[in-house]
Amino acid sequence: MNASSPHVRFAPSPTGYLHAGNARQAIVNYLFARAQGGRFTLRIDDTDAERSRPEYEAAIEQDLAWLGLTWDDKFNQSARLARYAEAAETLKRAGRLYPCFESEEELAAKRALRAKRKLPPIYDRAMLSLTPAQRAAAEANGKTPYWRFRLSDGAALWEDLVLGERTIRFNTLSDPVLIRADGTPLYTFTSVVDDLDTGITHVIRGEDHTTNTAVQIDLWRALAPKKPLPAFAHLPLISDIAGDKLSKRSGSVSLRTFRRDGIEPMALAAYLARLGSRRDPEPLTLAELGPSFNLDAFSRGAPRFDAKQLLSLNRRILHNVAFDFVADRLPEGASPAFWQAIRGNIDLLSEARHWWEITHGPIDPPEIPEARSILQAALGSLPEAPWDETTWKSWTTMIAAATDTRGKALFMPLRLALTGEPHGPDLAALLPLITRELVIERLERAAR
Ligand code: GLU
């Protein structure tokens, strides 16, 4: 890392659990930093004391760690209130922060009036012309002001690293409130102070923040006119498979839900890392994804969250995962051979339990009277234990010869009798996992 290397941040508000959308922003920031030897900061946006909860902050950290993310440093906005107050003074001195007294009801009435006149619902800046005497009178009446930032004339213009050239005219926006009447600063403001103080070079976040970006560019210039602006990249928000806003039903579930459903963190991270980009998701770790990560690959259209694609990635990942990696999440007693046998046949790790029951527990094989002669030949030629992966081949060769059957006609009744399922792992690998007693019992039941 050096002075010119990028510095990015992921800045969640601890007001709930992380979901796919936030996780994607975290991953994209993280990979961007890793690709360029930069720095990745976790910033907790917790100035809203009423809605922020320490338990959500802890959950955010756990969920990021579950995904495999690490951060170079972390800080909480709530620890920087004095600095925000100082920055607010700078704005006041420059005449950019002005006190306001209108209540929510008064503002709503103004908006309604403007709507009637077909005007956009923008704040009319009435309080800009408040005289010192009027302010004193309001304060004498027990009112405390909240503070708005006076936006510049003109427009904010930036070359968005994902969306391309962007212009937002300031006269289409209301002067934003930066400080509430109780003195607490709002995110729009604190974020700029932090980005400035910590030397953030790239602000990468959701497209829902583009209006904030316009305001924040103006704020940045007001606070530090000489300091170059960071670059901005806005990722289009994820939509569901039909193109609608992501809902709980369609995937905007918390990371904890993905975890509970048995999605591998690597699958989710790899899926989110490439969602909305030209590159197909691949079963790669974050460390493998880092070096080639590039924001240029992201497109301007809203990406669609496809649970099927995620599941297929999960499957591909499980297919190659080593026993040690999953051992503590497999049924008690599961061996490397068991994992080797079943890993190609599950979408989710939780399905291992199903195959464990098939290899070790009681099952209810179907009765297959039409295959009775095959099943009886199978019983008659069943080799003595111990078995290995060659047993299946030699056993079925004997059954084939005795019954003059081969292919599906031979294998399907055996598979059904031994597993109760028409599909599944290679029986050469599965057979040695089942005891000889169980095999006999199952063949006898199926042959009834
Ligand atoms: N706390 C903000 C959010 O969660 C951060 C946005 C930003 O990255 O600036 O939306």
Does 70 fall in a domain? Answer: yes
Backbone angles phi, psi at 244, to 5 degrees: -90, 170
pLDDT at 302 over 50: yes
pLDDT greater than 60 at residue 3 = no
Q: Examine residue 148 and state whether it is found in any structural domain, yes or no.
A: no
Q: How far is the CA of 237 from the centre of ligand 1 (A)?
A: 13
Mutation test residue for ligand 1: of 13, 28, 40, the one with most atoms within 8 Å of CB:
13
**Residue 88 within a domain:** yes
Q: Looking at residue 401, which CATH number applies to its domain?
A: 1.10.10.350
DSSP E strands: which ranges in 162-201? 164-169, 177-179
The answer, yes or no, to whether any atom of ligand 1 lies below 6 A from the CB of 29, is no
How many structural domains are present in the chain?
A: 2
Q: What is the pLDDT of residue 1?
A: 45
pLDDT per residue as tens digits for the range 196-221: 999 999 999 999 999 999 999 999 99
User: Could you tell me the pTM of the whole model?
Assistant: 0.90
CA triple 295-297-301, angle to 5 deg: 100
Q: What is the mean pLDDT of residues 258-287?
A: 95
Nearest Cα residue to 291 out of 18, 35, 118, 23: 35
Residue 190 Cα to ligand 1 middle (Å): 11
b/e code 129-156 from CB counts within 10 Å (16+ = b): ebeeeebeebeeeeeebbbbbbbeeeeb
First to last CA, the chain: 72
Q: Mean pLDDT throughout 4-10?
A: 94
- Mutating to test ligand 1, I would choose from 187, 192, 215 the residue with most ligand atoms within 8 A of its C-beta, which is 187
Q: Are residues 365 and 406 in the same domain?
A: yes
Closest CA to 23 of 83, 68, 90, 81: 68
Ligand 1 binding pocket includes 41 (Cβ within 6 Å): no
Average pLDDT, the chain: 95
Are 163 and 234 spatial neighbours (Cβ–Cβ below 8 Å)? yes
β-pair partners for 235: 206
Prior bond of 331 cis (ω within 30°): no
Ligand 1: which atom is nearest the Cα of residue 208? 10
Residues 354 and 388 in one domain: yes
**Are 264 and 358 within one domain?**
no
pLDDT tens for each residue of 124-156: 999 999 999 999 999 999 999 999 999 999 999
Whether 279 is in a domain gets the answer yes
**Please, are residues 50 and 14 in contact by the beta-carbon 8 Å criterion?**
no
Beta-carbon contacts of 409 under 8 Å, excluding residues fewer than 6 positions away, are 374
Residue 223 sits in a domain whose CATH number is 3.40.50.620
Q: Which of 285, 320, 355 is the last residue of a domain?
A: 320
Average pLDDT over every residue of 53-67: 97
Last residue of a domain, one of 258, 293, 320: 320
Both 252 and 343 in one domain: the answer is no
pLDDT the model gives residue 131: 94
> Which atom of ligand 1 approaches the CA of 13 most closely?
1
**Ligand 1, atom 10: nearest CA belongs to which residue?**
12
The answer to whether residue 150 is domain-embedded is no
- Quote the pLDDT of residue 73: 98
Q: Are residues 198 and 160 in the same domain?
A: yes
Q: Is residue 176 part of a domain?
A: no
Q: What is the pLDDT of residue 375?
A: 97
Residue span of the structural domain in which 264 resides: 1-76+83-93+155-167+186-320
**Separation of 250 CA from ligand 1 center, angstroms?**
23
- For residues 251 and 237, give the distance between their C-alpha atoms in angstroms, rounded to a whole number: 13
C-alpha angle 283/255/310, rounded to 5°?
Answer: 35
Confidence (pLDDT) at 248:
56
- Among the atoms of ligand 1, which is closest to the Cα of residue 205? 8
Distance in Å, CA 76 to ligand 1 centroid: 13
CA distance 27 to 293: 11
248 is in an annotated binding site: yes
Residues 6+ apart with CB under 8 A from 180: 146, 186
**Contact of 276 with 298, CB cutoff 8 Å:** yes
Confidence at 241, pLDDT banded by 50, 70, 90: confident
Instruction: Name the residue with tokens 């994902």.
Output: 162
Considering the domain architecture, whether residues 216 and 358 belong to the same structural domain is answered as no
Both 236 and 349 in a single domain? no
Instruction: Looking at the structure, tell me whether residues 66 and 205 fall in a common domain.
Output: yes
Residues 346 and 255 reside in one and the same domain: no
Place of tokens 């040695």: 432
Does a structural domain hold residue 422? yes
9 C-beta closer than 6 A to ligand 1? no
Q: State the average pLDDT over residues 259-268.
A: 94
Maximal CA-CA distance, the chain: 108
* DSSP state letters, 216-280: HHHHHHHH-TTSPPPEEEEEPPPB-TTSSBP-TTTT--BHHHHHHTT--HHHHHHHHHHTTBSSP
Looking at the structure, tell me whether residues 312 and 392 fall in a common domain: no
pLDDT digits (tens, 9 = 90+) for 353-408: 999 999 998 888 899 999 999 999 999 999 999 999 999 999 999 999 999 999 99
Ligand 1: which of 57, 60, 191 to mutate, most ligand atoms within 8 Å of CB?
Answer: 191
In this structure, the answer to whether residues 162 and 278 fall within a common structural domain is yes
Percent over 90 (pLDDT), the chain: 93
Task: Examine the pLDDT at 249 and tell me if it is beyond 90.
Answer: no
Is pLDDT above 50 for 195?
A: yes
- Domain contains 365: yes
Q: Answer yes or no: do 401 and 253 share one domain.
A: no
